[in-house]
Amino acid sequence: MIDRSRPSLAGVRSALTRCRLRIAFAVLVLLSAAVVASSASGGLSTASKAAVPAAPPTENHTVVTESGRAGTITAYEPDGDVLYYNNTRTKYFDVDPVEDDPLTVEYTATDTIHTAGPTCSEPPCALNVIERADLETGEVEVLYERYDHKETAGEWHDMDRINESHVVVADIVADQVFIVNTETEIVEWLWDAQSDFSLESGHSFPRDWAHINDVEYIERGAMAGRIMVSLRNQDQVVFLDRREGLLENWTLGAENEYGTMYEQHNPDYVPESRGGPAVVVADSENGRVQEFQREDGEWNRTWEWEDDRIQWPRDADRLPNGNTLITDTHGNRVMEVNASGAVVWQVGSTLPYDAERLETGAESEGGQSAQELGLESRTVTDGGDTDTRGFGPVEFVGRLLERVLPHRLTNALIFVAPVWIGKGEAAAIAVGLLSGLTWASLEIGWWLRESSVRVRLPVTRERE
């Protein structure tokens, strides 16, 4: 007879193992939840003027735009206090100071339209605007606007002023660059990327094909009057002549040649008079900023800067003092690095798009080329680690995930995630989810075994 009142040794062992496993999984889930909860409750926010962090003092005013979850434009006084803040529009993109009036800025911004009506029969749509804001009086004036039928890749991320009445616009919606007289609203010149690029290049058409995210009217030097354009999805910066069109032998980068550039943002042209021709550019998906010098009809890299924290930079401006102002979108900061590569000024921002030091001219207008300045490059292998955000086991898993996942996927995930989710928090969520799922599968397995339920495949093979 079998004694059912006493558990077998194997039974006791299995119960103990289960108990230990349950404790281990509970600890892992609780620890992950604690990391996530503490990050979610504190940290960086730009959701209101009061929440925007103060900046360290520096010479001149700084303006920062954000697009994505929070659409903001913030201007800092030289002492670091917030002078101006606006979050009326859904998204703010490239901003530039107005010539001879640096405390007035012009920028492109977008409002997302969620309600069906005469401006949008099938929401979401977009209202793209070119606006001018006086940072001292707070007065905002719309200079030109257009309703567009889509929201995804439905924005204007940049425009550049040519003269008092004309601006050149980077139109992501139509994959075009156009010059408009904002007084008459007549478009006077237009380049269509389809004239020079195949629809097999870039991303899918018409969803987000070329993603023309930056445009610059070149004012000085041999290239004066030409227009520099960034085709993000073709990994190329191209030069347009208004009569001849694309100047093919000037193109910087090539599609999918990620060693040169990978889905760049915000190239700035440095003319010969300041040590160029050179282009300073945010090499976004490669997580670095760099500069190329035009030598003997070719573009050669003359400078690059990265550290362990930089993630999806979208702007780099060479300042008149030789430093470079960098907008590090997923590193959640705007910073200034000096000639030897040290970070000398930094302010937190949740999802910055563009930054300008206002009294120094638009973008890199007052700066010289890296070659002229003899700038030192800095890479992570040189020990360029300026990430002071801790290095515990969670951060280790975070950095491991970042190395393993493709850059585009990592950046897309960070872009849609709440701002408090950094590498560490993403790792904590991954560990918590994995532990929870493994624990739940084990519990189901144990329960099935105890209740003598056997799982069988719906299809079985008959033996002969």
Ligand X SMILES: O=[N+]([O-])c1ccc(OS(=O)(=O)O)cc1
Residues that bind ligand X (CB under 6 A): 67-68, 91, 157, 211, 213, 232, 265, 314
Beta strands in 172-297 (DSSP E): 176-181, 186-192, 212-217, 227-231, 236-241, 245-246, 265-270, 278-283, 288-295
Name the minimum Å distance from CB 265 to ligand X: 6
Q: Which is nearer to ligand X, 265 or 318 (CB)?
A: 265
Name the minimum Å distance from CB 232 to ligand X: 6
Q: How many CB atoms lie within 10 A of CB 456?
A: 6
Q: Comparing C-alpha atoms, which of 70, 193, 173 is closest to residue 128?
A: 173
Give the span between the Cα atoms of 103 and 137, in whole angstroms: 10
Give the span between the Cα atoms of 368 and 375, in whole angstroms: 10
Name the minimum Å distance from CB 391 to ligand X: 29
Cα separation values, 49 from 4, 84, 191, 462, Å = 71, 8, 39, 72
Q: Which is nearer to ligand X, 45 or 112 (CB)?
A: 112
Q: Which is nearer to ligand X, 25 or 262 (CB)?
A: 262
Q: Which is nearer to ligand X, 408 or 449 (CB)?
A: 408
Tokens of 424: 């560490």
Q: Which is nearer to ligand X, 242 or 408 (CB)?
A: 408
Phi, psi of 38 (to 5 degrees): -70, -35
Give the chain's end-to-end CA distance (angstroms, integer): 38
CB-based burial of residue 143 (10 Å sphere; 0-12 exposed, 13-18 middle, 19+ buried)?
middle
CB-based burial of residue 457 (10 Å sphere; 0-12 exposed, 13-18 middle, 19+ buried)?
exposed
Tokens of 464: 């002969």
Q: Which is nearer to ligand X, 32 or 315 (CB)?
A: 315
Name the minimum Å distance from CB 67 to ligand X: 4
N residues, the chain:
464
Q: Which is nearer to ligand X, 104 or 128 (CB)?
A: 128
Beta strands in 30-71 (DSSP E): 62-66
Q: Coil, helix or strand for 74?
A: strand
Name the minimum Å distance from CB 452 to ligand X: 55
Q: Which is nearer to ligand X, 22 or 150 (CB)?
A: 150
Q: Which is nearer to ligand X, 182 or 350 (CB)?
A: 350
Name the minimum Å distance from CB 171 to ligand X: 13
Radius of gyration of the chain (CA): 27
User: Residue number with the shortest CB distance to ligand X?
Assistant: 67
Name the minimum Å distance from CB 162 to ligand X: 23
Cα 37 from chain centroid (whole Å):
25
Name the minimum Å distance from CB 329 to ligand X: 8
Name the minimum Å distance from CB 29 to ligand X: 34
